């Protein structure tokens, strides 16, 4: 496995702060440029159907202005597919979406919508856009992702990030490790994300199969104290710590 884990910085919650006042700042594009300057490998945005944070113009501006690449998270609906085909991000990551949720609550149920996801895959890949699915650490969902023809999966680390007891954390981390290994054996590239912080990211970065992490809320939160560039640098240092432990 490559001894590097790419960090894609999610700037959604910069837009959340802006939308609280419906003004022009803070600008998620400026945050994206700061993240790149700090060494981020890519930028992630989630254009939600209700437009609660990232707006359509943010997607096009960020796609045009950043020097790295754009990962567009979106629901598996035609409106978003059309936006992706027009914007042509580096990668599309399909995520489940409910209007009433505060944030994404779980992975896609790939098993129940394989035919639908295959149609979206065909449209996305026809434009040379990479196609990824956000799933829970579940072998069934991973196998279905391979059947759909995804190039990669992003393992949902939300539950791992929320757990407090050491034994339950260890058990969830074991599930993530086993799922990452299984996905890699199925020929899928393995990413991870949701709820990760400087502290809990180390054990995830230690997993040999993990190539890429999507992290946002923690970076935006800590930028209040350290500034955005320093928050990104701190996260990258934590990721490097995990990579260094892979050989141990």
Active-site pick, 13, 53, 182, 194? 194
Token readout for 181 is 């290994």
**Pick the catalytic residue: 73, 154, 209, 229?**
73
Of the listed 46, 53, 182, 209, which one is catalytic? 46
Alpha carbon distance 30, 151 (integer Å): 30
**Structure-token match 């440029």, residue found:** 33
Residue 182 is a catalytic residue: no
* Catalytic site includes residue 73: yes
Alpha-carbon distances, residue 87 vs 25, 56, 61, 80 (angstroms):
23, 10, 10, 10
**Cα–Cα distance measured from residue 194 to residue 106, given in angstroms and rounded to the nearest whole number:** 9
d(C-alpha 219, C-alpha 196), whole Å = 9
Dihedral (Cα; 121, 111, 215, 173), 10-degree rounding: -140
Rg (CA), the chain: 17
3-state secondary structure 118-140: HHHHHHHHCCCCEEEEEECCCHH
Angle at the Cα of 235 (from 184 to 9), degrees rounded to 5? Answer: 70
Kindly list the catalytic residues: 46, 73, 194
């Amino acid at each position: 496995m490559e001894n590097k884990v790419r960090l894609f910085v999610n700037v959604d919650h910069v837009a959340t702060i802006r939308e609280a006042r419906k003004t022009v700042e803070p600008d998620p594009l400026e945050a994206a440029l700061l993240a790149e300057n700090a060494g981020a490998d890519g930028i992630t945005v989630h254009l939600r159907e209700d437009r609660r944070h990232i707006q359509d113009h943010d997607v096009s501006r960020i796609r045009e202005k950043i020097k790295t690449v754009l990962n567009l998270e979106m629901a598996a609906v035609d409106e978003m597919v059309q936006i992706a085909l027009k914007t042509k991000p580096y990668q599309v990551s399909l995520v489940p979406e409910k209007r009433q949720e505060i944030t994404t609550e779980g992975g896609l149920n790939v098993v129940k919508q394989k035919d639908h996801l295959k149609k979206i895959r065909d449209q996305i890949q026809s434009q040379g856009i990479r196609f990824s699915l956000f799933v829970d650490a579940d072998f069934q969902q991973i196998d279905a992702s391979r059947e759909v023809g995804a190039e990669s999966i992003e393992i949902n680390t939300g539950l791992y990030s929320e757990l407090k007891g050491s034994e339950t954390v260890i058990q969830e981390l074991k599930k993530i490790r086993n799922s990452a290994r299984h996905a890699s054996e199925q020929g899928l590239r393995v990413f991870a994300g949701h709820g990760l912080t400087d502290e809990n990211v180390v054990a995830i970065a230690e997993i040999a199969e993990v190539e890429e992490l999507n992290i946002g809320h923690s970076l935006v939160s800590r930028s209040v104290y350290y500034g955005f560039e320093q928050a990104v640098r701190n996260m990258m240092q934590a990721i490097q710590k995990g990579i260094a432990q892979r050989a141990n």
